[in-house]
Structure 1
Amino acid sequence: MRGKFITLEGTEGVGKTTNMAFIQQWLTDQCIDFVTTREPGGTPLAEDIRHLLLTHRDEAVDETAELLLMFAARSQHIAQVIEPALAAGKWVLCDRFTDATYAYQGGGRGQSTEHIAQLEQLVQGDLRPDLTLLLDLPVDVGLQRARKRSDPDRFEAERQQFFTRVRDAYLERARQQPKRCQVVDASLPLEQVQGQIDTALQQFIAEANHD
């Protein structure tokens, strides 16, 4: 039986690292065989592309080049990690996937969603996440958290308006695909955030078993 594909999304400072660990433990407790990965990245080549994308540089990065690099990393990631794991019956838990491209390159950068959709189809075919958990938090709160954590990378150094557009694009994706995208209120205390995640995962497993 083919594995399930779960993605975790959100803007800066929403708590993805902490909640990725929570989901990993949840899947372990359910005796589900899974792999954890991230985007951009997940393979040596894709991690090299990630470094190119996140590093500050004097040269202005063309927005179309940025978009193509995202999908180049994704193509390698799918071929080397995601598809083999799913085909082997393992679940895949991924820190960000194509929703992030619609949010950051589409919403944030203003890239054409039609172009993103064309690349999505070219690179992914029919592959889409089975469940996406969107950690949502007011932008100013998330940026305060993120900037206490580490020096900002090339994306994290963007202005607040950029991240407002990113958040709006994420929420619009969730409105368009409410069955797949579950919005988690990440402004609540951690225990309540993880309670929402637990509920979403329980419901997802119940529906998967029913199917």
Structure 2
Amino acid sequence: MPAQAKFIVVEGLEGAGKSTAIAFVKQQLEQQGIKPLCTREPGGTPMAERLRELVKQVQQDEVVAPQTELLLMYAARMQLICNVIKPALAAGQWVLADRHDMSSRAYQGGGRQLDEQFINQLRNAVLGDLRPDLTLYLDIDPAIGLERARQRGALDRIEQEQLAFFQRTRQKYLQIAHTEPNIAIIDASQPLTGVQQQLALALQPLWMG
């Protein structure tokens, strides 16, 4: 097991299979003698979970401004980073996260089409020098992903957006994945065995490098 703890993030649209992928990644880590701290965004602390509820719930009496949504995401992220992620990494514990900053850049930057400079200012203020050692982006056609999500049950406020919103989100995900380091694109539309093979290959450099 490497001495230095790693920060791994699993990203993707609704219905991409993040929960299944996270379970597989956790299993792979445990086979290497690594017991990761698993968390999610938005959420992961008591306050961040309350902010998650605000973001996810359908608001009957007012429209949620896209900028408000973004600020709530980063407020929850700040709580998680300060109270969970950084302390765990400092203590030598690996962290496995269901979503992180890439989600905000894709959903609010791509889907909501918010100003990129505004998002980058928030990123720099909240993240500082924290970056994932590996991001596993599960790529899927939004129409397929949304149909999978509908089969799971009721959709939350963001999941109820139009298909075009998720198409823009996917485009932003792919743009980031193709231009920034430490991001592996996983074809989430293939059979599970294929997804797992790609995940395993992407993970190997973390303990073989």
Offset at residue 33 of structure 1 (A): 2.9
Question: In 1, Cα distance between the equivalents of 2:35 and 2:189?
Answer: 30
1:103 matches 2:136: no
1:145 paired to 2:148: yes
Aligned to 1:119: 122
The letter of the residue matching 2:158 is F
- Percent of pairs with identical residues: 50
SS at match of 1:57: coil
- Number of the residue aligned with 2:176: 173
Runs of 4 or more, structure 1, over 4 Å off, are none
**Equivalent residues of 1:104, 1:166 under 8 A apart:** yes
Please say if residues 134 and 183 of structure 1, whose CA atoms lie closer than 8 Å, have aligned partners that are also in contact: yes
1:4 shift after superposition? 0.6
Partner SS, residue 129 of structure 1: coil
Structure 2: distance between partners of 1:63 and 1:155: 11
Provide the residue aligned with 1:162 in structure 2: 165
Report the counterpart of residue 26 of structure 2 in structure 1.
24
Counterpart position of 2:48: 46
Q: CA RMSD for the aligned pairs?
A: 0.9
What is the TM-score when the length of structure 2 is the normalising length? 0.96
In the TM superposition, what whole-angstrom CA distance separates every residue of 1:42-86 from its partner, at most 9, and x where no partner exists?
000000000000000121001111111110000000011000000
2:207 aligns to what? 205
1:93-135 deviation digits (Å, cap 9, x = unpaired): 0000000000000000011111111111101110011100000
Structure 2 counterpart of 1:64, from 62, 67, 89: 67
Contact 1:2–1:88 (CA under 8 A) maintained in structure 2:
no
The one-letter amino acid paired with 1:204 is L
The alpha-carbon deviation at position 14 of structure 1 amounts to: 0.4
1:206 CA displacement: 1.9
Q: Is the contact made by 1:85 and 1:91 (CA closer than 8 Å) also made in structure 2?
A: yes
Aligned partner letter, 1:56:
V
1:30 maps to a residue whose letter is Q
**Rounded Cα–Cα distance in structure 1 between residues aligned with 2:69 and 2:201:** 36
Q: How many Å separate the matches in 2 of 1:99 and 1:37? A: 15
Letter in 1 for 2:121: Q
Which residue identity does 2:9 align to in structure 1?
T
Distance 1:114 1:33 in 2: 37
State the alpha-carbon separation in 1 of the partners of residues 26 and 153 from structure 2.
24
Residue 96 of structure 2: SS of its match in structure 1?
Answer: strand
SS of 2:113's equivalent in the other structure is coil
Equivalence for 1:37:
39
User: In structure 1, what is the Cα distance between the partners aligned to 2:206 and 2:112?
Assistant: 32
Which structure 1 residue ranges, 5 or more long, are not aligned? Answer: none
Q: Following TM superposition, by how much is the alpha carbon of 1:2 offset from its aligned partner in structure 2, in angstroms?
A: 4.0
Q: Which residue of 2 aligns with 1:80?
A: 83
Aligned residues: 206
For 2:186, the equivalent position in structure 1 comes to: 184
Measured after TM superposition, the shift of residue 205 of structure 1 is: 2.4
5+ residue gaps, structure 2, are: none
SS state at 2:37 partner: strand
Give the match's secondary structure for 2:185.
Answer: strand
Deviation at 1:150, TM superposition (A): 1.3
